[in-house]
Amino acid sequence: MQGKRQRDPGVYEVEWEVWVENRLGVHARPAAQIMHLASQFDATVILEKDGFQANARELLSLLALDSPQGTRLVIRASGPEAREAAQALAHLFARKFGEP
């Protein structure tokens, strides 16, 4: 985790750097996992790659990032559960989305 700021009481902003490690990158199945997981938290979650941003709750937005293996992404989350959302997504990336 790179940074955590509190805007209002109980509302956080978090930035977390992750790397795409699974062989096929962020294709439809990992993107669906990201979308499903992000939807479970009271937080706005954005993934950023080279200045381009994708809403983590929008499948096509995630796929449009074109994130093959080796891609560096930044997770930006804000809201009451921002920290938890970013941690959960970072863990998903670290587990390679359950792929070899």
Name the active-site residue from 11, 21, 24, 27: 27
Domains and CATH numbers, the chain: 3-98 (3.30.1340.10)
pTM over the 0.85 mark? yes
* pLDDT tens-digit readout, 18-56: 999 999 999 999 999 999 999 999 999 999 999 999 999
Q: Is position 36 annotated as part of the catalytic site?
A: no
Burial string for 65-82 (b: 16+ CB within 10 Å, else e) reads bebeeebebbbbbbbebb
98/58 Cα distance (integer angstroms): 21
- Hey, is 96 helix, strand or coil? helix
48/29 Cα distance (integer angstroms): 19
